[in-house]
Amino acid sequence: MTQLVLPNDTNILNNLLGGTLMHWIDLVGAMVANRHCRTPIVTASMERINFLNPIPLGHLVLLKAKIQYAGKSSMEVGVEVYSEDTLTGEQSRASNAILTYVAVDLKGNPVPVPKLILSTEEEKASYNEAIKRKQERLARS
């Protein structure tokens, strides 16, 4: 997903508002989760978000999201955010986040999602890390 930082999206330093970026992160994550399960989904958690560098007015914001884990009804999505200078094309890392979505029916009750097919070692590693995060979250609650 690509967005352009317009004046209405910025703080008094002329950089993208954190809340606006969080909204875009949630949207791109939700689109990816929905494409996996093709049911309504809700955001269950935004577990980790890092703002690494400010994104100035007039830059493009490139948001790349992928599913890292699918459980019974939940899906963990990782989002990487890059900032692109429209005049030079130079890109830099701006933010990253991990979110969990839950597939639901029209009454909001969780429903099963398809399993993930893991093809690469990288996919297997991020799946296992997501399981660890889920276990840690369940141990905390």
Residues lying near ligand COA in the complex (CB under 6 A) are found at: 42-45, 71-74, 100, 102, 104, 108, 110, 137
DSSP 5: -
> Least distance from C-beta 96 to ligand COA, angstroms?
18
| For ligand COA, the closer CB: 35 or 93 | 35
The identity of residue 74, as a single letter, is S
CB nearer to ligand COA: pick between 6 and 112: 112
- What minimum distance in Å lies between the beta carbon of 43 and ligand COA? 4
Shortest-Cβ-distance residue relative to ligand COA: 71
Task: Please give the full DSSP string across 32-66, using - where no structure is assigned.
Answer: HHHHHH-S-EEEEEEEEEEE-S--BTT-EEEEEEE
> What is the closest distance, in whole angstroms, from the C-beta atom of residue 1 to ligand COA in the complex?
17
Compute the distance between CA of residue 117 and CA of residue 27 in angstroms, rounded to an integer. Answer: 23
- Going from the C-alpha of 46 to that of each of 11, 25, 39, 58, the distances in angstroms are 22, 9, 20, 27
Please say which residue, 100 or 126, places its beta carbon nearer to ligand COA. Answer: 100
For residue 29, count other CB atoms closer than 10 A to its CB: 28
CB of 108 to ligand COA, least distance (A): 5
